[in-house]
Amino acid sequence: MKTNTATLIDNRTGKHYEFDILEATRGPSVVDISTFYKKTGMFTYDVGYTSTASCTSSITFIDGEKGELRYRGIDIKKLAKEHTYLENCYLLLNGSMPNADELKRFDLELRHRSFIDEDLKRLISTFPDSAHPMSILSSGVSALSSFYFEHLNMHNIQECQDMARRIIAKIPTLAAFAYRKSLGIPFIYPDIDRSFTENFLYMLRAYPGGKMKRGMDGEEEIKPIEIKALDTIFTLHADHEQNASTTVVRNVASTGAHPYVAISSGIAALWGRAHGGANESVIAQLEMIGSVENIGKYIAKAKDPNDEFRLMGFGHRVYKNFDPRAEVLKELQDELKEELNLDSNLMAIASKIEEIALSDEYFIERKLYPNVDFYSGVILSALKIEKSMFTPIFVIGRTVGWIAHLLEFRVDSSSKIARPRQLYRGE
Ligand code: ACO
């Protein structure tokens, strides 16, 4: 008898059905139920895919119980502390860290590809000034498929890499243009003398003619510590295996749609408050709470089963002890406290909420810990970034992850169109 199988017994009939168990290199093995319907005439039921592996992947690994996250086998803390976002992008796309020459070529390529077509710029201009940057961003990325329609069919690795590098390079420009449009101020073109992360801050902050704000002591240049902080935030958001938006990207790509349309769908999925939109909601919530004295009232609301209020930035489908990304950001927040103007009132409210929640039975029982979004908002505010840009910043970091998954999906011979079944209970 084969031992690497699992047997299902239908207790209504006593029939036995056997399924193969596939071993993972890390984490749980899976029961291969692809023949389940054929063998049993039944479907499996798993709302929200809490126990379902929808693909084979070798990009990112998470152990939610241990609070472990790895890109291509390397621990996130090491990657965040010892490597730049661009190195991590290269790692996610290619499977290994670049050498000095590869990194330089990659960097230069992204700098030169960072410009967007003037017609796309005009399209962005047509949005109302009040439009949320996420709405402009997802539309802009979808429109990008018209400018690079040839990426619908990619036949070799070079074409795939061109498609990937093009969108990774252009996303910061689209996000910065979306932001400036939402404020009704002129667009600032990329500056190829600046690194990926510095250039994004420059496009947000600069005045026409490439000038920076004039302070009493002269031009307010972008500080290296600000670049480091944002670069780390990009790295921490770069991939997160089969999260909601990545699943959307894979599912849209599974129909044969254009890669940039699939990324645009991922952006739309990320926008929700339960996912990437949480970072904007965290700060909005801290501002609404207003002072440490009001916290008790909101903790009570979060615990009330009849109240829809949730503590934003708490809880995670996978992490049940801590979110390792949140740990890196908490350390970074402490580092920045000295050097940047972190909002002391917001920080005081955030620390108190964290302290109360971590010792409260309700949160302990449900394993609700601060997630990455709980800390990123305070740091981004210190970089003088508006809350409406927090989720677009998540998009900039995550684009490489979406693209890596899309490419993995395309070369996997077992990939299929995503088409789940249902438990029908209607007439
Ligand atoms: N505040 C208060 N209670 C919460 C919270 C919260 N933030 N999160 C979960 N709960 C409670 C639920 O009410 C539920 O309680 P019950 O068992 O008494 O009914 C229990 O904890 C389990 O919650 P679920 O919603 O079933 O957990 P799920 O894994 O489906 O959801 C999620 C995870 C969406 C992240 C959830 O914790 C949440 O809404 N958090 C706030 C939003 C947030 O921070 N999202 C960012 C996630 S990280 C990311 O996407 C980058």
Closest C-alpha residue for ligand 1 atom 14: 366
- If you average pLDDT over residues 315-322, what whole number do you get? 88
Predicted pLDDT of residue 336: 84
pLDDT digits (tens, 9 = 90+) for 207-245: 999 999 999 989 999 999 999 999 999 999 999 999 999
Span from the CA of 316 to the centroid of ligand 1 (angstroms): 6
Predicted pLDDT of residue 1: 65
Predicted pLDDT of residue 378: 85
Predicted pLDDT of residue 333: 86
- If you average pLDDT over residues 406-420, what whole number do you get? 95
Span from the CA of 213 to the centroid of ligand 1 (angstroms): 41
pLDDT(407) > 80: yes
Highest mean pLDDT among 336-345, 369-378, 415-424: 415-424
Closest C-alpha residue for ligand 1 atom 27: 317
Ligand 1 atom with the smallest distance to the CA of 275 is: 50
Ligand 1 atom with the smallest distance to the CA of 317 is: 29
Catalytic choice (83, 151, 258, 316): 316
Instruction: Name the CA radius of gyration of the chain, rounded.
Output: 23
Structure tokens at 349: 């409210």
Please name the residues in contact with 81: beta carbons below 8 A apart, sequence gap of 6 or more: 328
Question: How many other CB atoms are found less than 10 A from the CB of residue 310?
Answer: 16
Confidence at 340, pLDDT banded by 50, 70, 90: confident
Predicted pLDDT of residue 144: 98
Ligand 1 atom with the smallest distance to the CA of 302 is: 2
Q: CB of 316 closer than 6 A to ligand 1?
A: yes
Residue scoring higher pLDDT (138 or 278): 138
The C-alpha torsion from 351 through 355 and 361 to 365, rounded to 10°, is: 70
Q: Which of 340, 334, 339, 345 is nearest to 375 (CA)?
A: 334
Backbone angles phi, psi at 59, to 5 degrees: -95, -60
Residue 275 among the catalytic residues: no
Closest C-alpha residue for ligand 1 atom 15: 366
| Amino acid at site 421 | R
Span from the CA of 315 to the centroid of ligand 1 (angstroms): 5
Structure tokens at 225: 């510590």
Predicted pLDDT of residue 357: 86
Cβ atoms 166, 148 nearer than 8 A: yes
Predicted pLDDT of residue 344: 76
Q: CB of 276 closer than 6 A to ligand 1?
A: yes
Span from the CA of 367 to the centroid of ligand 1 (angstroms): 10
Separation between Cα atoms, residue 12 and residue 351, nearest integer Å: 54
pLDDT(267) > 90: yes
Predicted pLDDT of residue 335: 85
Q: Which of 271, 310, 311, 356 to mutate to test the pocket of ligand 1 (most atoms within 8 A of CB)?
A: 310
Q: Whole-model pTM above 0.85?
A: yes
pLDDT digits (tens, 9 = 90+) for 1-47: 678 999 999 999 999 999 999 999 999 999 999 999 999 999 999 99
Predicted pLDDT of residue 345: 84
Ligand 1 atom with the smallest distance to the CA of 310 is: 1
Q: CB of 310 closer than 6 A to ligand 1?
A: yes
Confidence at 373, pLDDT banded by 50, 70, 90: confident
Span from the CA of 318 to the centroid of ligand 1 (angstroms): 11
pLDDT digits (tens, 9 = 90+) for 67-123: 999 999 999 999 999 999 999 999 999 999 999 999 999 999 999 999 999 999 999
Summary mean pLDDT of the chain: 95
Question: Which class for 222: exposed (0-12), middle (13-18), buried (19 or more C-beta within 10 A)?
Answer: buried
Ligand 1 atom with the smallest distance to the CA of 374 is: 44
The C-alpha torsion from 350 through 178 and 238 to 56, rounded to 10°, is: 120
Q: CB of 282 closer than 6 A to ligand 1?
A: no
Cβ atoms 19, 32 nearer than 8 A: yes
Span from the CA of 371 to the centroid of ligand 1 (angstroms): 11
Residue 323 among the catalytic residues: no
Structure tokens at 228: 């480091």
pLDDT(302) > 90: yes
